[in-house]
Amino acid sequence: MAQKKIIFTKTFVENFDKLPKKIKDKTIKQLNMLFHNPEHPSLRIHKIKGTDNIWELRVDLRYRITFEKLSNGYLLRVIGKHDIIDKEKKK
């Protein structure tokens, strides 16, 4: 069986680099959870309405990550405040 992996888009990395350290730390914790226990309730994963395969997960009350589910893992698209979800719907 292929090993599960997380792929980071350039946009995700650029967004992540601009985050406050506290949010970066929370993000790392949530990505670890996504990798090891994607059903964990704190992630609050759900599909973004109006998209084919774009999902969101919760970093905290204000920050979200959007991603695509791959056969062997996840492609992280963007991270930012909750309004990133509206931008993903328009793509």
Q: How many residues does the chain have?
A: 91
- Sorting pLDDT into bands at 50, 70 and 90, what band is 84? confident
Span 52-68, average pLDDT: 95
CATH of domain 5-90: 3.30.2310.20
* Segment 17-30, tens digit of pLDDT: 999 999 999 999 99
Show me where the domains of the chain are located.
5-90
Q: Is 48 exposed, middle or buried (0-12, 13-18, 19+ CB in 10 A)?
A: middle
- What is the average pLDDT value for the chain, to the nearest integer? 91
36: left (phi over 0), alpha (psi -120 to 50) or beta: alpha
Give residue for tokens 């109006």.
Answer: 50
